[in-house]
Structure formats: C-alpha cells, structure tokens
Structure 1
Amino acid sequence: MAKPDAVRITTARSSAADDMRSRQRRYAISMTIRIVCFVAAVAVGPGVLRWVLVAAAVFLPLFAVIMANAGDQRDDGFSLPDGPGAHELTARDDEDRGK
C-alpha cells in the first residue's frame, strides 16, 4: 500500500477563499488593461499601433481566463527519501536502542 506524500507548510495550497480572491484580482487587472487598450486604440488614431492595441484587447480575455484559472502550483523541490534507504522511526526503534 503506497503512503501519501507528506505536505510541507511551504507547499500547502492557500485557502479556497484566498485562491478565489487572487483569481478575481488577476482577472480584474487584466480586464482593466483591456479597457485601456480599447480607449488607447481610439485615441491614437489610424495606424499600426491602433491595430496592435485592438489585437491586445481582443486576445487579452483568452489569456486572462487562462491565467485566472491557473492553479496554485507551489513546489519547493523537497522530497522525502523513498525506497530501501528510507527509514521510519517507530516506538520499537527507540526501545531497541535502549532509550
């Protein structure tokens, strides 16, 4: 039977409320940038810059949704040894050592 991996506090996920708040904030910032792109596209007049701003405003929602839905992926690279070299300390191990 495989044992579940230990979770370190530094890699624990944030609470659901904090995660939702963070996603909403990222999405709101992205949509604010989109509105700025639309307004700037009208303000700059005809030219290449207008089309760049329009393209940014059109494709930004796609990237905003992808970024907002990105999960909380914390990893500090730490892993516990597994296999023949791994040793679990049990009560019997303490008794065998005379403690």
Structure 2
Amino acid sequence: MSSRRTPRAHDAPGDDVQRITSAPESLADDMARRQRRYLAQMGVRMVCFAAAFFTWGHLPVVVPIILLIAAVVLPYVAVLFANAGRERRDTDDASFMQYREIGPGSGPHHQVGGGS
C-alpha cells in the first residue's frame, strides 16, 4: 500500500497546507533559550558589580555609580525577558478571527436610560 495521500471528494484544492517552518518552537527549546538569556544577563550583572567594586576610587565616581545602577536594573529587565512567554515567529499577518458587521436587532428599540 502506498504512503501517498489520495485526494478525496471533500478536499478542496485551495485548502491550506501546514508548513514545517511555521511550526512553533518546542517548549523545551523555548525554556532553554529563555534560561540561557536570563543567565547571560545575570552574568553581566555580576560583572557590573565587580567592575563597580574595583573601579571605586580609581575612576571618577560617576563610572561606578552607573555600573551599580545597571546592576540594580538588570534583574528587572532579565525577568521581563524571561517571562515574555512563547512568541509567534511567523511573518504572516493571518488573523484567526473573521470580523462581521452586526446589523440592527429585530426586537423593539428602546432608548438606553429609560423613557419610551
């Protein structure tokens, strides 16, 4: 028996076919990617703390202060990126909803707020 799919009567010639390139990233790959990004940002934070410690007194005070501010802000940014969730990566602007115009109702028309 052949593994080819034979066309059936109910198959329309214009049916969309799923492409492997539009398949979402697996959950394990997504989690691993987000964990790597988070750990890299926390590594940059540790470098900022160490650089602020070792440059204090050797460079103008503004430089270690900026490094400390970066070290304080980085965890917030890292958590935002890590919790961003799974994003769709396809470039198609396909909508999953079909919008319809709703016409006037068929019942009696009463004004909102009372009165007849």
Give the TM-score taking structure 1 as reference length: 0.66
Greater helix fraction, Structure 1 or Structure 2: 1
User: What's the secondary structure of 1:75's corresponding residue?
Assistant: coil
Output the CA distance in 1 between the equivalents of 2:71 and 2:17.
43
Aligned residues: 78
Give the TM-score taking structure 2 as reference length: 0.58
CA-based RMSD of the aligned residues comes to: 2.7
Deviation at 1:73, TM superposition (A): 2.8
Deviation at 1:13, TM superposition (A): 1.6
2:21 is aligned with 1:10: yes
- Structure with higher RCO (Cα < 8 A, 6+ apart): 1
Which position in structure 2 is the counterpart of 1:60?
Answer: 74
Output the CA distance in 1 between the equivalents of 2:20 and 2:87.
14
> Which structure 1 residue ranges, 5 or more long, are not aligned?
84-99
User: What's the secondary structure of 2:87's corresponding residue?
Assistant: coil
Rg larger in structure = 2
Deviations 1:21-77 (A, max 9, x none): 001100000000000000000011141011100000001000001111223231212
Of all paired residues, the percent bearing the same amino acid is: 47
> Which structure 2 residue ranges, 5 or more long, are not aligned?
1-15, 99-116
